[in-house]
């Protein structure tokens, strides 16, 4: 009876086949990172998962489904690699779509609440924290504005944001005043990620103007997301160049009103032929085999209420941002980079 207080309840989202579990969150994260790094062994080290256990689970899935999900080639001419098969990619996409849908509906109270714009590096970082420190986390992918709104309402410990202010040329700091929180929070420098136009290989594209000139069908991000804010800034510039009314311009763009909540959703729409182009991070372009045209390196930072800064879970998050493990993880993912003041308070 004395050991009951040591029992933890954990919630996971799993895919089953004929009553047998084939994929859970841990393995889905491992497969995704393997596809990016090209190495199952390196991905296991980054995620703190024993290689033998990971390989055993992959073989189990393949035996249950009767299909290969991972291709491996040992070193030699051209070097070795690990990568997902086409079936493995479809399976991973099915899991990610189900995971995001359920997490948006999940209402269980967690110890650390993060309201944020969607970001892949943040996903992997939180998974690392949960494993290493046994921290329970509730993540709300509400967009940058939604995250700041949750901070304003005192309903989140951390907000991840990448809002660009065209007037000042700054990221994030100008928006603290707009949400009446400039004296209540600190802003911690996160990292930079590369964002650009993502599109299929059969689409010809020179610049943002081609969305209008070539009548390309887009998929948009949700209102309040930093990516949506950036796209609107880019389209306003296009309207000026083409001497068009901005409202008329966006009404002429097919798909402008089609909104999704994550960068993966943008890529999924394009891969499935439901859109020609979208604005997203380089990571998903690489992950889904799409073309990428660079727009900017943007600052993805973290807003933390001063009254929650001393919380142990928040301090563990900041500790990880300043760690070598985080730097290695960020440098592994395409389209991400840490900078000199990553993990430091840049506004208080």
* pLDDT tens for each residue of the chain, 348 residues long: 455 554 555 567 889 999 898 998 889 888 887 887 888 887 887 676 788 889 999 999 999 999 999 998 876 545 578 899 999 999 998 988 887 677 555 444 457 899 998 899 999 999 988 888 888 888 888 888 888 988 988 889 999 999 999 899 999 999 999 888 999 999 999 999 999 999 999 999 999 999 999 999 999 998 778 999 999 999 999 999 999 999 999 999 999 999 998 999 999 999 999 999 999 999 999 999 999 999 999 999 999 999 999 999 999 999 999 999 999 999 999 999 999 999 999 999
Q: pTM above 0.85?
A: no
Structure confidence at residue 145 (pLDDT): 85
pLDDT score of 48: 67
CA dihedral 177, 345, 45, 25 (to 10 degrees): -30
In the chain the domains, ranked by start, together with CATH numbers, are 7-101 (1.10.10.10), 109-347 (3.40.190.290)
State the residue for tokens 């329970």: 136
Pairing of strands 345-347, 185-199: antiparallel
How far apart CA 313 and CA 318 sit, in angstroms, is 9
Q: How many CA atoms lie within 13 A of 299 on its CB side?
A: 21
pLDDT at 107: 41
What pLDDT does 103 receive?
58
Alpha helices in the chain (DSSP H): 25-37, 40-47, 51-65, 86-105, 120-133, 143-152, 173-178, 210-213, 226-241, 246-251, 263-271, 282-288, 312-321, 324-332
Q: Contact 152/176 with Cβ under 8 angstroms? A: no
Asked whether 116 and 172 are in contact (CB, 8 A), the reply is no
Bin 143: left if φ > 0, else alpha if -120 < ψ < 50, else beta.
left
Residue 13 C-beta-side C-alpha neighbours within 13 Å? 17
């Amino acid at each position: 009876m004395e050991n009951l207080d040591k029992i933890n309840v954990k919630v996971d989202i799993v895919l089953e086949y004929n009553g047998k579990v084939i994929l859970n969150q841990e393995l889905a994260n491992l497969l995704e990172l393997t596809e990016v790094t090209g190495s199952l062994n390196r991905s296991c080290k980054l995620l703190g998962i024993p290689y033998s256990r990971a390989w055993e689970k992959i073989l189990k899935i393949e035996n249950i489904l009767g299909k290969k999900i991972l291709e491996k080639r040992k070193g030699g001419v051209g070097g070795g690699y690990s990568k997902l098969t086409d079936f493995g990619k479809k399976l991973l996409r099915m899991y990610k779509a189900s995971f995001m849908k359920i997490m948006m509906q999940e209402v269980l109270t967690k110890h650390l609440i993060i309201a944020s714009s969607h970001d892949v590096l943040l996903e992997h970082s939180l998974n690392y924290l949960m494993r290493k420190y046994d921290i329970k986390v509730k993540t709300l992918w509400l967009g940058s504005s939604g995250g700041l709104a949750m901070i304003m309402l005192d309903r989140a410990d951390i907000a991840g944001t990448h809002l660009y202010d065209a007037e000042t040329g700054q990221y994030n700091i100008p928006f603290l005043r707009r949400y009446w929180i400039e004296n209540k929070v600190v802003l911690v420098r996160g990292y930079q990620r590369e964002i650009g136009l993502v599109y299929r290989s059969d689409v010809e594209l020179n610049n943002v103007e081609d969305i209008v000139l070539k009548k390309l069908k887009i998929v948009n991000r949700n209102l309040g997301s930093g990516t949506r804010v950036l796209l609107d800034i880019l389209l306003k510039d296009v309207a000026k160049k083409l001497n068009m009314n901005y409202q008329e311009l966006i009404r002429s763009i097919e798909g402008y009103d089609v909104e999704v909540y994550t960068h993966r959703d943008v890529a999924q729409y394009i891969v499935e032929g439901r859109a020609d182009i979208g604005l997203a991070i380089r990571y998903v372009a690489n992950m889904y085999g799409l073309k990428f045209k660079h727009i900017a390196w943007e600052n993805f930072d973290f807003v933390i209420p001063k009254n929650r800064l001393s919380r142990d879970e928040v301090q563990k998050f900041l500790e990880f941002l300043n760690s070598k493990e985080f730097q290695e993880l960020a440098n592994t993912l395409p389209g991400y980079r840490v900078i000199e003041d990553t993990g430091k308070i840049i506004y208080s």
